Homo-oligomer: A and B are copies of this chain.
Amino acid sequence: MTTPAARRLRADAEHNTARILAAAEEVLAADPAASLERIGEAAGLTRATVHRRFASRQALLDALTEQLNQRYLSALAQSKVGNPPPLVAFRRLTEIVFDLKVSHRYAMDLVSAQDNCRSALSPEVAAGLEEIFAQLRESGEITATSPAWCRQVYLALLNEVHELPDDTTDLVEAGRSRAELVVRAVVGALGGPRRHP
Residue of A156, A169, A190 contacting most chain B CB atoms (<10 Å): A156
B170 near A145: Cβ-Cβ < 8 Å = yes
A154: nearest chain-B partner, CB-CB: B160
**Chain B's nearest CB lies how many Å from the CB of A111?**
14
Task: Count residues of A near B (Cβ-Cβ below 8 Å).
Answer: 35
Which residues of B have CB within 8 Å of A152? 160, 163-164
Tell me whether A149 and B173 are in contact (CB under 8 A): no
Question: Is A121 at the interface (CB under 8 A from chain B)?
Answer: no
Alpha-carbon distance between A160 and B155 when the two chains are bound, in angstroms: 9
**Contact A190 B185, beta carbon cutoff 8 Å:** yes
**Chain B residues near A57 (CB, 8 Å)?**
none
Contact with B along A78-117 (1 / 0, CB 8 A): 0000000000000000000000000000000000001001
Cα of A71 to Cα of B77 in the assembled complex, Å:
46
A165 touches B117 (CB 8 A): yes
The smallest C-beta distance from A71 to any residue of chain B, in angstroms, reads 22
Chain B residues with Cβ below 8 Å from A164 are: 146, 148-149, 152
- Cβ–Cβ < 8 Å partners of A114 in chain B: 163
The minimal Cβ–Cβ distance linking A152 to chain B, given in whole angstroms, is 4
Q: List the 3 shortest-distance A-B pairs measured between CB atoms, nearest first.
A: A188-B188, A189-B189, A185-B189
